[in-house]
Structure 1
Amino acid sequence: MKIVVIGAAVIGLVSPAFAQKLPGDFAFLRDIDPTIIQDIRYASSNNFMGRPIAGYGAAECVVKRDVGLRLKAVQQELARQKLSLKMFDCYRPSRAVADMVAWSKNGAETAAERRYNPAFSKADLFRLGYIATHSGHSTGAALDLTLVDLTADNSAKFDPAKDYADCTAPVAARAPEGSVDMGTGYDCSDAKGHTAAGSITPAQRRWRTRLVAAMAGQGFVNYSKEWWHFSLPGAGGRAYDFQIVSRRN
């Protein structure tokens, strides 16, 4: 698949009078492609820390402009297959990374937290490479995402009062994510979450392969320990720490 170059005019879909101004060459993904589904989990309690994470003042996907344009091209290709991207995390403020580091060292280990790392202690997440002390997300060039089958029933919602099975359990037992079954839930710190894990079903492997291929068509590279994590080489740069805010004033 060839890289599609899209004119910068598509970015100006929202009047400057109504859109929040972002630093540098960042943009709200909704302003580039509003059809891409967003479920920014770190702005909610539905994540491995069980609460909104520092810096996430709004559930918005913020990206470098070139990253957003390439995501739009991926989305256009997927739409022909009745599929959609679903964003879990995009730009991540440096303060959020610091919040994750502090969380990993707080000595607590709740049942909700264990759903995301059932095989080992959360204190090992950084040592094992599941969370980085300096994240590519903070440059605006890294993303966490999945696929949604637009022909399926995606209506099941996360219930914080429900006792779900851990992220490696069969899809019917773990927390719903409104997306295809990739073999684990998002942010599952487990060998089963490795992109090439041998413990998943053929159908789950086909979905992972499909996602990796779709993203690779626009130059994105997958992180081998997380089927959901992709980055765009050369699009990064320095880390930022501006707060994620609502795209409307």
Structure 2
Amino acid sequence: MKIVVILAAVAGLVSPVLAQGLQGLPGDFAFLRDIDPTIIQDIRYAGANNFMGRPIAGYDAAECVVKRDVGLRLKAVQRELARQRLSLKMFDCYRPARAVADMVAWSRNGKETAAERRYNPAFAKADLFRLGYIATHSGHSTGAAVDLTLVDLGADNSRKFDPAKDYADCTAPVAARAPEGSVDMGTGYDCSDVKAHTTAGSITPAQRRWRSMLVAAMARQGFVNYSKEWWHFSRPEAGGTAYDFPISRAR
């Protein structure tokens, strides 16, 4: 078997499935940057700018990994948005099952810091799973679910997250909460609050238009939005096999 693989590689006949396997990804997974490098990535769980305040298990690199078909559909969404000088920005893509387990353990550790409460100002973190804001079995682990937002390429997106700054909670006006370099969707990313529900009545007309634009653009490529999170979209196959390989840097 090894001889066949080597000969095929030398002949330049390695199949896409095998080639991806050699990069450390299962055959139907791919790095999004290899499919569309114009899509902005801000993979939050690979750093400290997230609700846990640290890198989450399995995120060894800030890379968006998706099923290839999902990536191609995101590329089609990006092409449509580019005509309006907009871009997608990815916050999370494939999520290793070990990361989900890490989130579960975090929710049960009996501690809650002020920085953590910025993400769930109205609820205790121990209740986030019961309320449906975090799942014990995530569609992200199948490679068919993504978290994302929109970026206005003509706007000033230069504000950067400062871990030493005491930001307001995720439901506050955009100037007071942690910067995300994106359009104002009414809440920050990963905001566990009713205001983050996609059709929340407490947001402004402009924020509602941005959310509607994102939902419509994603729906045209077969993505379904999760009603409690304006940023979360999945393909119907998101209920498939969950994976647990760590996310490494694209070669």
**One fold, TM greater than 0.5?**
yes
Distance in structure 2 (CA, Å) of the matches to 1:97 and 1:208: 26
Distance 1:25 1:211 in 2: 26
Equivalent residue for 1:23?
A: 26
Matches of 2:101 and 2:246 in 1, distance apart? 13
CA contact (8 A) 1:115 1:167 kept: yes
Contact kept in structure 2, 1:64 and 1:235, CA below 8 Å: no
Once the two structures are TM-superposed, the CA of residue 32 in structure 1 deviates from its matched residue by: 0.1
* Higher-Rg member (1/2): 2
The list of structure 1 runs, each at least 4 consecutive aligned residues, that deviate by more than 6 angstroms after superposition, is none
Give 1:235 deviation, angstroms: 5.5
Q: 1:49 maps to what in 2?
A: 52
Amino acid at match of 2:126: A
Superimposed CA distance per residue, residues 101-123 of structure 1 (whole angstroms, 9 cap, x where no aligned partner) = 00000000100000000001000
Is 2:200 the counterpart of 1:197?
A: yes
Counterpart secondary structure, 2:237: coil
**C-alpha distance after superposition, 1:128-153 (max 9, x if no partner):** 00000000000000000000000000
| Superposition map of 1:116-131 within 5 A | 116-131=119-134
- The equivalent of 2:242 in structure 1 is 239
2:35 to 24, 32, 37: 32
Deviations 1:79-110 (A, max 9, x none): 00000000000000000000000000000010
Q: What is the percentage of aligned positions where both structures have the same residue? A: 87
1:163 aligns with 2:166: yes
Between the aligned partners of 1:155 and 1:165, the Cα distance in structure 2 is: 19
User: Cα offset for 1:243?
Assistant: 0.2
Secondary structure in structure 1 of the residue aligned to 2:101: helix
Long gaps (5+) in structure 2: 1-14
Q: Answer 1 or 2: higher relative contact order, Cα 8 Å, separation at least 6.
A: 1
Confirm or deny that 1:69 pairs with 2:72: yes
Establish whether residue 216 from structure 1 lines up as the match of residue 212 from structure 2.
no
- Show CA shifts across 1:159-191 (max 9, x none): 000000000000000000000000000000000
Higher helix share: 2
| Secondary structure in 2 matching 1:234 | helix
Conservation of the 8 A alpha-carbon contact between 1:177 and 1:185: yes
Aligned residues: 234
SS of the aligned residue for 1:143 comes to strand
Cα offset, 1:47, TM superposition: 0.1
User: Residue 51 of structure 2 contacts residue 119 of structure 2 at CA under 8 Å; is this kept in 1?
Assistant: yes
Q: Deviations over 1:51-88 (max 9, x none)?
A: 00000000000000000000000000000000000000
1:152 and 1:236 map into 2 onto residues whose CA distance is: 37
* Equivalent-residue separation in structure 1 for 2:199 and 2:240 (angstroms): 28
SS state at 2:158 partner: coil
2:107 alignment partner, one of 104, 109, 112? 104
TM-score by length of 2: 0.91
- Partners in 1 of 2:115 and 2:164 — Cα distance? 10
Question: Match for residue 81 of structure 2?
Answer: 78
Q: Structure 1 length normalisation: TM-score?
A: 0.92
Counterparts in 2 of 1:178 and 1:184: CA distance versus 1, 3 Å: same
Q: Does 1:59 align with 2:65?
A: no
